[in-house]
Homo-oligomer: A and B are copies of this chain.
């Protein structure tokens, strides 16, 4: 499964219930360096969520989290000159417990340890029940050009600006030359099923597929590739995926997202699940060669999420036979 952050992690909770051997290819596009620390929000959201350490209310970060370090950084920012305070990105609320993860990751990266091995080490603390691989060990970051002309890190647009300023361009910096992390291609080409969860199709799954070797593996794997729509009734289920879709000129519509992914082998999909409310999208997609079914796609609880995962696997089975 290719995974973004909150949506991908929640879907994985359901998928894990089915007891299969799951490899998660995590998104590095959200990665950002703050105060010199390498932060990998999507990898950590998967790790904390499956490891039982995530905040249930927020969906990201740690439960029982505190923000004393960030509060103190805010005090510094208020006390030092405005020019220097601009260097203090307190808009990204790094939690104290979360910081421990970033400190360890950064220290190991600086020692020359690859991100995939760093991730493996960090996951020893968290009983995930799945194997988590970053898509790449190379530094990649998603950058966004705003309507006002500025180009900022995706996180700055997403977290600081709350995507209030429209984006005119989304660029996966470093992705074109990034290589897949060890095990990524093998996992995709030897899989029984490849799943695209209801994650953000642009900045989560799209950022993973921006890595050429990963895209190529998804296109040529003998396994069926099945995705689930993150859009229900013309709106993203969570987050601001519509702002990302708008930036790349794709309608916020369950069928349009499937068309954006495209049919293999030029695109990435064999099958696609839309929510029951989007059943009208089924026939048009089938005519385009994408096997589409409608099912309830709200991850309202673990049971509903598990049923979604099972429905996706069932569709994959139908495609295989």
Contacts and interface: CB of A to CB of B under 8 A. Distances in A.
Nearest to A88: B104
B81 A97 contact: no
A110 B36 contact: yes
A142 interface: no
Interface in A51-103: 66, 68-70, 72-73, 75-76, 79-81, 84, 87-88, 96-97, 99-101, 103
A125 B80 contact: yes
A100 B72 contact: yes
Contact of A87 (B36, B72, B97, B107): B107
Nearest to A103: B35
Contacts of A84: 108, 121
A124 interface: yes
Contacts of A101: 72, 76
Contact of A66 (B68, B75, B87, B106): B68
Contact of A104 (B76, B106, B125): B76
Q: Which of A70, A84, A111 has the most B CB atoms < 10 Å from its CB?
A: A84
A118 to B, nearest CB: 10
A99 B73 CA distance: 9
Contact of A103 (B69, B75, B108): B69
B100 A99 contact: no
A294 to B, nearest CB: 43
Contacts of A104: 35, 73, 76, 88
B111 A69 contact: no
A132 to B, nearest CB: 15
A122 interface: yes
A235 interface: no
A121 B36 CA distance: 18
A195 B106 CA distance: 41
Contacts of A111: 87
Please list the 6 inter-chain residue pairs (A to B) with the smallest Cβ-Cβ separation, ordered nearest first: A72-B100, A79-B125, A35-B103, A68-B96, A80-B124, A35-B107
